[in-house]
Structure 1
């Protein structure tokens, strides 16, 4: 029986730089905010770490992700709606403390977002990103958002999006997913 060839491509994840709302820990999905000056600086600092060839570079269509991609050296990154942040619906712009005043114990991982996306909807669109990355020759680089990237990592690993709760992710960080033999793994996280 012939041996299965080990996959070698990697999926590189970059969370966008700081915005006014991310600094205040406000849930931001569809609100299209610019980076702060600090967010712009940390995005520029990513450039030397990403100075390599990629088979595909994608970005969320939101300004904060597109600007992070541009400042990190990828002005031609392809906008991909599937990389948008989890839609928070009625919770857009609120902090976790504000949400929990009316929904005690709420987290995006365990309870619905009224007027927003379900975990199943998020999973469906991020599965398309995983499939596209695995079909691409060479490494893939994506610029996106905190909850979306955590959910994307869970889907890469074959886990429900809710398991993204275990993967804290700061702004302007670099993470890397890949394989150990044929098993999808986290190679680097929140660096």
Structure 2
């Protein structure tokens, strides 16, 4: 029975990450530390002699530039897929976690309460986001069954994949750590579905990595 392996990689650090600001679909580039983290992550994969079949990335610049560190080192192309984007946070995008409760108190409360149907005024509900992530995960697995896949995405997106693989309810608080430029492995078998293999590996990074607030 073939086992499909996915290495899920969160993008490197951005200025908005450092400011604890909700990015969502806002296209923020890596900062200098994030560029270095991307290079360290790619080099760690090279040092491990990792053999993989395909590389996917979100189209947002912070993910695509992180994936590009792998492209340059391995001499391969990345498949760009906009459905791997972060959740759209609507009216909360651009606000820091300190500003949001003051500027958008009702929407912030819906966000932290994990209201599954609230779209955050122009954004995505948790249910909509979960369906998007489940759909792209199923599509990639079906297209590359039994293969090893690298996938560069975002904190909220990887948290949703963790929930899918661990069967964690959408309404429950986050339990997974999703640091910048971390390596996170999940596997899929036909009879058992997805499962977590390793998570939040940052041993390849020099110094601590920030957790995601886009969750």
TM-score clears 0.5 = yes
Match of 1:127 among 123, 134, 150: 134
- Where does structure 2 lack aligned partners over 5 or more consecutive residues? 202-215
Match of 1:37 among 32, 39, 42: 32
- Name the residue aligned to 1:22: 17
Aligned equivalents of 1:100, 1:162: Cα separation in 2: 20
Contact 1:109/1:165 (<8 A) preserved: no
Aligned equivalents of 1:82, 1:108: Cα separation in 2: 23
Contact 2:71/2:78 (<8 A) preserved: no
Q: C-alpha offsets along residues 86-145 of structure 1, whole Å, 9 cap, x if unaligned? A: 000100011222222313645457033222001121112111222123221411111111
TM-score in terms of structure 2 length: 0.77
Aligned equivalents of 1:116, 1:189: Cα separation in 2: 28
TM-score in terms of structure 1 length: 0.86
Q: C-alpha offsets along residues 63-103 of structure 1, whole Å, 9 cap, x if unaligned? A: 11000000133662111111000000100011222222313
**RMSD after superposition:** 2.3
Q: What is the number of equivalent residue pairs in this alignment?
A: 186
Contact 1:61/1:79 (<8 A) preserved: yes
Aligned equivalents of 2:148, 2:157: Cα separation in 1: 19
